[in-house]
Chains A and B, each alone.
Chain A
Amino acid sequence: MIPNEPKITPALVAEHGLKPDEYDRFRELIGRDPTFTELGIVSAMWNEHCSYKSSKIHLRDLPTKAPWVIQGPGENAGVIDIGDGLACVFKMESHNHPSFIEPYQGAATGVGGILRDVFTMGARPIACLNSLRFGDPKHPRTRSLVSGVVAGIGGYGNSFGVPTVGGSVGFHSRYDGNILVNAMAVGLAENDKIFYAKATGVGRPVVYLGSKTGRDGIHGATMASAEFDDASDEKRPTVQVGDPFAEKLLLEASLEIMHAGCVIAIQDMGAAGLTCSAVEMGAKGDLGVTLDLDAIPTREAAMTAYEMMLSESQERMLMVLKPEKEKEAEAIFKKWGLDFAIVGQTTNNSRFIVRYRGDVMADLPIKELGDKAPEYNRPFAEPKKLPILDPAKILCPISIEAALEKLIGSPDLSSKRWVWEQYDHIILNDTLQRPGGDAAVVRIKDGPKALAMTTDVTPRYCEADPFEGGKQAVAEAWRNLTAVGARPLAITDNLNFGNPERPEIMGQFVYCVRGISEACKTLDFPVVSGNVSLYNETNGRGILPTPTIGGVGVLDDLSKMASLAFKAEGEVIFLLGETTGWLGQSAFLATVLDREDGAPPPVDLATEKKNGDFMRELIQNGLVTAAHDISDGGLLVAVAEMAMASNIGAKLQMPASNLPAHAVWFGEDQARYVLTADSSNLPKIEAAAVKASVTLLRLGTTGSHQLTLPGENPILVSRLCMIHESWLPTYMAGNSAG
């Protein structure tokens, strides 16, 4: 018996987020009552956040393989081969619950965690992106949450020294009680120098590196596995505190000891800290691990074993070192001013043993801690299909000009400059396309290759039809990469949903995953890493289903890159793809008519692929001067964005005759792009379209400083810019309610 331990009672078990049957399962596994530390360990391993117990069964269906995939899901991050001996390492992860409670630190440590995932694998981070969802701008907390989250993301990434090159920001009342902060990091490594968590060899030193352990973040992962209620503010102490300076040192020191050949296995301490990292390293290598907590560097006095095992203090790593390289590794860490302590060793007994002050605080079967975690096939309800809206029956109460102004000045479609100017997006001097385009583009070393990256999801589509919405999120990411001329290679997915114990929420999850899976298969766009965030729910009200997709693609020659700004006057504008005037769940319907109804646009993946491949080939052949995918707000918003980026106007003709004008201009049919070309290339492009059997229409010509549409007053581009740029700064200054 360990002295001074609390008695394990049903109430204590419940406080740890374990259901009675889950506790029984654990007791059976170890054949006795657990110690308090063991209860803490199992609660950390078996919560939703770490065990994926509700989602695992469905995630197995996602396509994760392709010839260019080096490492799929299951490691710290996914790895793909990008040629020339280089690999791209990337992942996206949520920090939703902590960011709602403490926006600055929650968002900052979200960035820190994902950066660590990437450099733990031996990659130097080259870019960050994010996807943020906030509540209704009129909600009293929204403004301060935006301010805190953006400052936190910038505060961490700017100091660490990685450019934050892209992302998305959206607002909806369904996020009033649960915001979303999804952070993605992308890194570069040599493809034969990737590091993994799998430990090998018995009796090897287990080394603790980085910052000291404190009491912050205890039960963070458990918090992220439960709904919020009115008392959620009391959970503030479970939010970790970030130290980007320590992380920068940890990056440099880790890469240096990897380069020096000291490392056998490495795992960062993220959710559930020391517990998860030690168990994972051992379990993956079929080895036991013994930890001696007396050796753990702590920053607070009298920490208990329980606290050390559950602390989520940031900027820490666990490694298994080559014994002969111990001194060399220690010297490198000391040079960077970081803690280095041998805290245990690998064993051949398959046990996870934790010793502290002469007592054995935990003695658990290491493999079973992971393998025997509960797994649920939760009941799910098939989502109801919504009716398809007939565009002829939807009237536009205002002029096209007024509707366009309303859309580009709306919270979701307005410029996010206020946000991304707080992120250093140029450091490292490789950012070829900055925030505001279809996809960010970052040069690889000195070129000529470049990586394109994007984050996408349309939550209102996912809410209306999870299957089509899941498909659309993947297709949109694929299209954004295509629009800059990149070959889409792989995705990371960050699946944000409400409480999976409710069948309708589980139904959203299951159908979104099926949609993602189908799109990834058809588009040859495998999932290589990801994260599931459930219980985004407060007092029984869930968020919109938000499966964020982070896509990565490669450009073989950056000089062929396309961007969305019009380049010159007098160029031909084309519309690629079919227009049916789809208004169901459109931004037009929500913004102009205040309606969110109807079925969202269906995604025909074969057409998506055909149109995208055609588009990419035109770009590769140097025939395209500007390119932009059509998404929220439809065709006219896409054209307006190309005009605003260049201050060049356009004269447009109506590309479809039998539809109401507003359905043509603002409908959100999928698989479409706007492109421009020099008029001398017109015959070549039209011949190619016929050959590829894609729908390509001449939409108009660039020129002047206004948009001219048939039957409408000319719209000044400068006025559009003013409207587009002013909503967010005005809102954040407190001068508008949104």
Chain B
Amino acid sequence: MKAAILVFPGINRERDMARALKLVSGKEPVMAWHADSKLPKGTDLVVIPGGFSYGDYLRCGAIAARASIMNAVRAHAAKGGLVLAVCNGFQIACEAGLLPGVLMRNAQLKFLCKEVHLRIERSDTPFTQRYNAGDVIRVPVAHGEGNYVADAETIARLEGENRVALRYTAPDGKLDPAFNYNGSTNSIAGILSEKLNVLGLMPHPENHVDPIVGPTDGRRLFESLIETLEAA
């Protein structure tokens, strides 16, 4: 695995992500600066981490999506390269056209940091193969704008093509509006690109990998990526 973590001004979970990748893969990822026009040589996984790129001023992710490194990321994705986009990264990926839809203010209009339950919708992807479809995992969220919204046609297409990777659910895995904390359409927590090589999600798997700190349900996402890349 040769992971590159993108760093934009205002990003703040790049260290969490680097630690998680190091812990699970044993390899130190490289930080890639927003103003660069190329990804580090040999990059096989691009990670767009969480934070408040450009302060989330204007619109979350909108400014970062136009940074010069993003041209290289789009080219990487177009060739089928893997992209993991978490939280602000998911917002950036949507703004950059890597994924459809947009993340709006949480339905309750407040920032929310808490552990949530997520249902793995499919396990035949590079990001989720170490899980089983239907598994319910606990992972924290920490965002103010994670309410996934898209037009009806896009939602129908995502659902029809089975591109919803994760949903917010009750602890037993059932859909329940009370557990859809940010009000996302169809309780969507994460979606995949058409070729299944880009995953965008609001929750933070990188914060649930270390048994010293807490649960480790996020670990298998990174193990899935390692397995995928090692098989390639």
Q: Which residues of A pack against B, CB within 8 Å?
A: 151, 154-155, 158-161, 243-246, 248-249, 336-337, 420-432, 443, 447, 558
* Chain B interface extent, by class: 20 to 34
CA separation between A157 and B109, bound complex, in Å?
17
- Can you list 12 A-B contacts (CB < 8 A)? A159-B56, A161-B13, A245-B52, A245-B54, A420-B113, A422-B110, A422-B112, A423-B111, A429-B19, A429-B20, A429-B207, A443-B213
Q: A248-B12, A432-B213 are in contact. Are A159 and B55 (CB under 8 A)?
A: yes
Let me know if B200 is at the binding interface, CB within 8 A. no
Per CB-CB distance, the 8 closest pairs between chain A and chain B, nearest first, are: A161-B12, A245-B55, A159-B52, A424-B142, A429-B16, A424-B113, A245-B10, A422-B111
Let me know if B195 is at the binding interface, CB within 8 A. no
CA separation between A420 and B142, bound complex, in Å?
11
Closest B residue by C-beta to A147: B110
Let me know if B190 is at the binding interface, CB within 8 A. no
Docked-complex contact B113 and A425, CB < 8 angstroms: yes
Contact of A248 among B10, B111, B112, B206 (CB under 8 A): B10
CA separation between A243 and B210, bound complex, in Å?
32
Docked-complex contact B212 and A337, CB < 8 angstroms: no
Let me know if B15 is at the binding interface, CB within 8 A. yes
Interfacial chain B residues near A424, Cβ < 8 Å: 111, 113, 142
Let me know if B140 is at the binding interface, CB within 8 A. yes
Q: Which residues of B pack against A, CB within 8 Å?
A: 9-10, 12-13, 15-16, 19-20, 51-52, 54-57, 110-114, 140, 142, 144, 204, 206-207, 210, 212-213
Interfacial chain B residues near A248, Cβ < 8 Å: 9-10, 12, 52
Interfacial chain A residues near B55, Cβ < 8 Å: 159, 243-246
Interface centre among B19, B142, B206 (most CB of A within 10 A): B142
Interface centre among B15, B19, B204, B213 (most CB of A within 10 A): B213
Interface centre among B52, B204, B210 (most CB of A within 10 A): B52
Q: A158-B142, A159-B10, A337-B9 are in contact. Are A431 and B213 (CB under 8 A)?
A: yes
Interfacial chain B residues near A249, Cβ < 8 Å: 9-10
Query: Closest CB of chain A to B22's CB: distance in Å?
Result: 10
Docked-complex contact A426 and B12, CB < 8 angstroms: no
Interfacial chain B residues near A429, Cβ < 8 Å: 16, 19-20, 206-207, 210, 213
Q: A159-B56, A245-B55, A432-B212 are in contact. Are A426 and B110 (CB under 8 A)?
A: no
Docked-complex contact A426 and B52, CB < 8 angstroms: no
Query: Closest CB of chain B to A446's CB: distance in Å?
Result: 9
CA separation between A248 and B54, bound complex, in Å?
10
Docked-complex contact A244 and B52, CB < 8 angstroms: yes
Docked-complex contact A151 and B110, CB < 8 angstroms: yes
Closest A residue by C-beta to B109: A151
Query: Closest CB of chain A to B183's CB: distance in Å?
Result: 16
CA separation between A70 and B194, bound complex, in Å?
57
Interface centre among B9, B19, B112 (most CB of A within 10 A): B9
Query: Closest CB of chain B to A243's CB: distance in Å?
Result: 7
Closest A residue by C-beta to B15: A428
Q: A421-B114, A432-B213 are in contact. Are A336 and B9 (CB under 8 A)?
A: yes
Docked-complex contact B212 and A558, CB < 8 angstroms: yes
Docked-complex contact A245 and B207, CB < 8 angstroms: no
Interfacial chain B residues near A426, Cβ < 8 Å: 113, 140, 142, 204, 207
CA separation between A443 and B56, bound complex, in Å?
29
CA separation between A151 and B110, bound complex, in Å?
8
Interfacial chain A residues near B54, Cβ < 8 Å: 245
Interfacial chain A residues near B111, Cβ < 8 Å: 151, 154-155, 158, 422-424
Docked-complex contact B12 and A160, CB < 8 angstroms: yes
Closest A residue by C-beta to B7: A252
CA separation between A558 and B55, bound complex, in Å?
34
Docked-complex contact A430 and B113, CB < 8 angstroms: no
Interfacial chain B residues near A427, Cβ < 8 Å: 12-13, 16, 142, 207
Interfacial chain B residues near A431, Cβ < 8 Å: 213
CA separation between A243 and B56, bound complex, in Å?
11
Closest A residue by C-beta to B53: A245
CA separation between A428 and B20, bound complex, in Å?
11
Query: Closest CB of chain A to B21's CB: distance in Å?
Result: 12
Query: Closest CB of chain A to B39's CB: distance in Å?
Result: 19
